[in-house]
Structure formats: structure tokens, C-alpha cells
Structure 1
Amino acid sequence: MTALSDFSASPLQLVWPSREHLPGYIAALERGWSPNNLRPEAGLEELAQIRIDPARFLASLVDPEAKGPPVSLPDGGTMPRLPGYRRWMWDGEFCGSIQLRWQPGTNSLPAYCLGHIGYAVVPWKSGKGYAKAALRALLPEARARGLDQVEITTDPGNIASQQVIRANGGVLVEEFVKLPALGGTPELRFRIDVRGLAPAAQ
């Protein structure tokens, strides 16, 4: 569990996916929330996976060696899985999910991967600064994985997400068009330099 020391007034913590916290995650999925901003149907898919084998589902969320199956794209295709893991936002209740992914030995990402970090807060917990706090807490973990910088992308119209990124040192580097398999729509790419951060303990 990671406490957010830089946000001492915040009750938020990042926790590893576990049986203890799974009921809250299931409840969020059942209310229609999805951890994947590009694929709303991912929430229903995860509910089905949980019903079949909860332990296997939880294990699939922490995959730093990319042993899992290919990842589904919005157009129905698949892409090779990158090393990565999810942490859950928790304030006594499930609040959202934040994910870190990377390629060993490089800061670069393949074109089909929109950023090192992705996050999604449940709507009923919005406005509490949780996305900002969760991103701040995850950045030292990115440094611990050997990254010098992280990229985060967001929709040009998503002002709230842009504010979260900028509040954590994000600098806009380009506007680009996503691959057709990812929707082919405009996207903003931000970078955050993490070289000055002390790596988090693994």
C-alpha cells in the first residue's frame, strides 16, 4: 500500500488489487464504470472474468513480465502486452484505477500504446483531487522501473485530465492523431520528467 505523503489531507491510498478490495471494484463495474477510457465494454468483460476465476483476474492486473495474453483494441484487434500493472485508488471505498506500463530499457513506447500511465476515477468520486494524487504517488514507481520520463495522453477536450497532468509537471509536447485501430481521433501528448524523483521501493 502506498500512502500519499505529499497529499497529507487526502484520505486516498494506492492499493494492490486484492480479494479484500475486490468487492468495491465489482460494485463499480456493476454501476457501469470502466477502467478503460477507450473501451467502455471492458468493464463488462472484466465482470465476466471475475465471475469465472477471481484469483486469476487479480493476478492478471499485476504483470511486470508481460506474461498475459494480447490486449484488445477498440477496433476488435489485439496488440502485444507490455510489462505493467494496475493499482487501485482507495479511500475506504473503491475510487478508481491507475496503470503503469513500460518497455524495458527504453523510455519509448510502441505507437499502439497511448502513454506510460492511464487512470480513471469513478464518477461518484470525482472532484476530490484523487486522479492528481494518484498520479503523484505513481511517478516514483515509474522512476523505479528505470524510466527517465513518462508520457500521458488525453483528449483535447478533457480539460480536467490536462489539469491533472500539468499539476504533476506535465509539459505538452504535441497534438497527434491516434492510430485508426485506436479511434483515429486527435490526442494530446504530455511528458513528465521523473529523473529528480527518488525511486519508490519495489
Structure 2
Amino acid sequence: MPQLISPDLRFRTSFLAAVQENLAEGEYFGDTLKRELAVYGDSWHAPDGFARYVAAIREEELEDGRRPDGFVPGSWYWYVDGETYLGRIQVRHRLTPHLRDYGGHIGYGVRPTARRKGYATAMLRDVLPYARALGLDRVLVTCDTTNVGSRKVIEANGGEFEDERSGKLRFWIHTGR
């Protein structure tokens, strides 16, 4: 049964296969994958390089942890089924002005070969208690105006439409549901 977990070294092969799927589709999880490839792309195929990557993304959730300039603490979760990496979701612990307009508290992505199976809806649903544990009574989730699938995922999780800003639809979801 699929579940959310903290990023884990044992999923290296499956994670890297998902990265290749995303690259083949020209999808970069926003700019996250581009940033990760620039820093880890030459080393994460080796177990020690992947271990550095996993340690780095786990550190991003710490208030005083290292993360890219301008980024807020954020907790990463991977959605897996058995030994298969299906996707990832991040809960940002607070909003900056930019995140309030465009990025929101939560960003997620499902590998191309695992799409249209309900995983994104389940990931978002399953991460809401983690957001609540961070003290977030409600979270902002955004998607491109053209991303019908993501809009359906957000609405299926109780997303209440607020407005559109520069091509982004903005929804609020209560975490206590």
C-alpha cells in the first residue's frame, strides 16, 4: 500500500528512474529538479552521492538548516509503494511574499509512469496531518491555470478557491479535516 515516508536511501534506483522519466517529459518539479541536478546530478548515481542528497533535503526542514538562499524551512516526503518511488511532496513551514502569490505551502509531483492513479490526491491528503503538526491550520496550495489535474487534486482535498494571480490558481485547504 502506498505511503508517505521521509526521504530514504533505499529508494535510490527507483528515485533516479523517476528523475529520468521527468527529464524525458521535460518536467522539473518547478525548478527543483534543475537545482538538484546542478548540485547532485553528477554524484547521486553513487550511493555516497545519493546519501549526501538525502541528508541535504532532510536538513532543509530545520530552522537553522542549510537550504537555497531565500528558501524557508520545508519538510520533504516521498510517496512509495514497496520499493517503488512514486512521487514527492513538500510542506513549506511558512510563506514568503513570493510563496503567498505563487508557490504556496505545498508542492508535489508524481513520476510520469505513476500518474492518473490517484497518487497525487492521496499524497496531498496524507500530508495534511504533517502540516497541522507544524501549526498550520490551513495551507495554501497553488497550481497553474492550465493544470486541470492538479486543480482536481486540490479540490478533492477540500481546496477552497481564493483567486488567480499571474497564471496561478490559489486554494486554501484546512488541515484538520
What TM-score comes out, normalization by structure 2 length? Answer: 0.84
Contact 1:35 1:43 in 2 (8 A): no
Aligned partners of 2:149 and 2:75: how far apart in 1?
A: 24
Once the 2 structures are TM-superposed, how far is the Cα of residue 13 of structure 1 from its aligned partner? 0.9
Distance 1:86 1:121, change over 3 A: same
The one of 70, 93, 104 equivalent to 1:80 is 70
Contact 1:37 1:120 in 2 (8 A): no
Aligned match of 1:118 = 107
Q: How does 1:150-169 map to 2 (within 5 A)?
A: 150-169=139-158
More helix by share: 2
Q: CA RMSD in A?
A: 2.0
Aligned match of 1:99 = 90
SS in 2 for 1:50: coil
Once the 2 structures are TM-superposed, how far is the Cα of residue 175 of structure 1 from its aligned partner? 0.5
**Identity level (%):** 36
Aligned partners of 1:132 and 1:60: how far apart in 2?
A: 27
The one of 119, 128, 133 equivalent to 1:130 is 119
Amino acid across the alignment from 1:48: D
Count of aligned residue pairs for this structure pair: 165
Contact 2:22 2:112 in 1 (8 A): no
Contact 1:173 1:190 in 2 (8 A): yes
Aligned match of 2:52 = 56
SS in 2 for 1:20: helix
The one of 131, 138, 147 equivalent to 2:136 is 147
Moved >6 Å (runs of 4+): none
Aligned partners of 1:36 and 1:166: how far apart in 2?
A: 20
Aligned partners of 1:56 and 1:29: how far apart in 2?
A: 17
Once the 2 structures are TM-superposed, how far is the Cα of residue 38 of structure 1 from its aligned partner? 4.0
Aligned match of 1:65 = 62
Contact 2:139 2:174 in 1 (8 A): yes
Once the 2 structures are TM-superposed, how far is the Cα of residue 27 of structure 1 from its aligned partner? 1.5
**Unaligned residue ranges in structure 2 (runs of 5+):** none
What TM-score comes out, normalization by structure 1 length? Answer: 0.74
Once the 2 structures are TM-superposed, how far is the Cα of residue 17 of structure 1 from its aligned partner? 1.0
**Unaligned residue ranges in structure 1 (runs of 5+):** 1-10, 71-78, 104-108, 178-185, 198-202
SS in 1 for 2:128: helix
Once the 2 structures are TM-superposed, how far is the Cα of residue 170 of structure 1 from its aligned partner? 0.4
Contact 1:29 1:47 in 2 (8 A): no
Aligned partners of 1:111 and 1:49: how far apart in 2?
A: 34
